[in-house]
Amino acid sequence: MMIEIYTIASKPQHIMDLCQIHESFKYDAIFQARPGMHLPILIKDKVESRLVMATWGIESMTREKNQVNVISTDKILRTPPFNVLMQTQRCAILANCFFTEHKKEAYLIRLIRPRLFCIGGIYVQEGNEYRFAMLKTASADVLAGLMDDMPLVFTHERLHIWLQSEHTFTIMNFAAKAGRHWFDFFKVSTDILASTSNDKDLLVPLGMSLQQMKARDDKLSEIDFQEERANRKSMKH
């Protein structure tokens, strides 16, 4: 089961360099970001992208006035007013990992590369205040045993297309491709599910020290490098 928690710990300067943002921006790392928190997102500003702080959760327009934190891409195009927001007010939620709960155990899920990625979302603006909801799609095959759906993830190389496109097919194609990334996942402490947690140490795999985790990360990076080199060689033939 996908849970409404993710991590954004990359430094603002790294985000600005990677996403080609020229305006100075600051925020504090959130190791367990949750609905209701004030978090950095990228929105379209004319022809450029702009970082803004936004509250996670959009109030629905129904009589119940429920807060919507996550909405499925399968439903959004037939659910007003979110279908309009999907067309005109998409955002990119910056993340380093997301989480799921399976058989009462917590799992951290991330992309092996890049470590900073984007999650598709929609946003509303109320004066100088912004609010957003996360989009989810069908789970990647490698994650199917842990969760039925997952955030709509994509890399920063596709950020401009996500924010600028006006074609429904192109937008929905992001959902179709979200599961094609190379995911890494491992068990973490269930303490991460506590509503008050914001602890970097909870991102470490169960039973591992920080040093062991670094060695694991180095090994994954080496495997990734070798695969990319093999792919480049095959493309030359």
pLDDT for 148: 96
Helix (H) or strand (E) holding 218: helix 210-236
Residues 61, 63, 68, 74: what is their CA dihedral angle, to the nearest 10 degrees?
A: -70
Count the neighbouring beta carbons within 10 Å of the beta carbon of residue 139.
Answer: 20
Domains of the chain: residue spans and CATH: 2-206 (3.90.1680.10)
More confident site: 36 or 227: 36
- Is 73's pLDDT higher than 50? yes
- Cα separation, 110 vs 118, whole angstroms: 11
- Is 147's pLDDT higher than 90? yes
Enumerate residues 6+ apart whose C-beta is below 8 A from 186: 107, 108, 205, 206
pLDDT digits (tens, 9 = 90+) for 179-210: 999 999 999 999 999 989 999 999 999 988 87
Confidence of residue 63 (pLDDT cuts 50, 70, 90): low
pTM (two decimals): 0.90
Closest among 193, 73, 185, 222 to 138, alpha carbons compared? 73
Query: Reading across the β-sheet that carries 97-102, which strands appear in turn?
Result: 30-33, 2-8, 97-102, 105-111, 183-188
Question: CB of 73 within 8 A of CB of 149?
Answer: no
pLDDT digits (tens, 9 = 90+) for 154-177: 999 999 999 999 898 999 999 999
- Is 49's pLDDT higher than 90? no
Residues constituting the chain: 237
**Mean pLDDT of all residues in 91-109:** 97
Count the neighbouring beta carbons within 10 Å of the beta carbon of residue 213.
Answer: 14
